[in-house]
Amino acid sequence: MTRASAAYDLYLPARRASGVVFSSPHSGQEYGAAFLAASVLDPHAIRSSEDAFVDRLFSDAPKLGAPLICARAPRAFVDLNRAVDELDPGVIAGIRTAGHNPRVTSGLGVIPRVVSNGRAIYRGKISAEEAHLRLHGYWKPYHDRLRALIDEGLAQFGQSLLIDCHSMPHEAIQHHGRVGRPHPEIVLGDRFGASADGAVTEAVEAAFADQGFRVARNVPFAGAYITQAYGRPMRGQHVVQVEIDRALYMDEQTIRPHPHFAEVQAALTRAMATIVSTLGQSARPLAAE
């Protein structure tokens, strides 16, 4: 079953068999004409911070009994993995800086000022009214529905596990391998144990490793707003961020799937099946064990 709003597409299983939820907050591709006209970037360059095709990689989740929610608006328009108050005075007119925030300072607030490699999105600033419309029209509906999915899983199954699905540029990970070992292909982020019980993260890591992926934890990506906001392992509410090397499944220059896409998708589906079946059906909160 598919439900859609302006903010998201929601794919529901015929029968929810798990407290696991999959979310893809950065794969939105609806670049409106007005947004593109306001940007100094061309339609290709503006996609550089998009988690292209991540929604497709995880699209089998409903067949496994778990819901999948995917953003429709692109990350360059509104970043759903930022707090609603991470507002950047460098891109929004008439607001003040609310303390030091490295993400905002670098131009990656909830209304981004830049895309990858620090390239500016706009010629000037957008109005505070425009920022307000984006937050209430896209950010709030997405998080309201995501929170409801988590709460439903927790109520029905005694636990919930949010898999927060992302992709990472190959250049961001290629130098993070250990001496004598190649770089990881998947990086799991649990904020160093703050957003998920250690046993949960270990099980998620094993599910991907069993499919042949090289997996690392928390370096260089430990999780951002979504892991921080929703991870409450002491009450059986876990969040693990998953970052996948884009070079595994796409050509980063053309932003197109490459010939190994179907192979990678199939491996991810098998990993998802393990996660759903082993972590989403216990009546007891995992953190209580």
**pLDDT in the model for residue 198:** 96
pTM (2 d.p.) = 0.93
pLDDT (tens digit, 0 to 9) for every residue of the chain, 289 residues total?
677 688 999 999 999 989 999 999 999 999 999 999 999 999 999 999 999 999 999 999 999 999 999 999 999 999 999 999 999 999 999 988 766 788 998 999 999 999 998 899 999 999 999 999 999 999 999 999 999 999 999 999 999 999 999 999 998 887 665 666 788 999 999 999 999 999 999 999 999 999 999 999 999 998 999 999 999 999 999 999 999 999 999 999 999 999 999 999 999 999 999 999 998 665 444 443 3
The structural domains of the chain, ordered by start, are 2-28+56-74+129-288 (3.40.630.40)
158 close to 285: Cβ distance less than 8 angstroms: yes
Q: Rounded to whole angstroms, how far apart are CA atoms 77 and 185?
A: 28
* Token pair recorded at residue 172: 């961001």
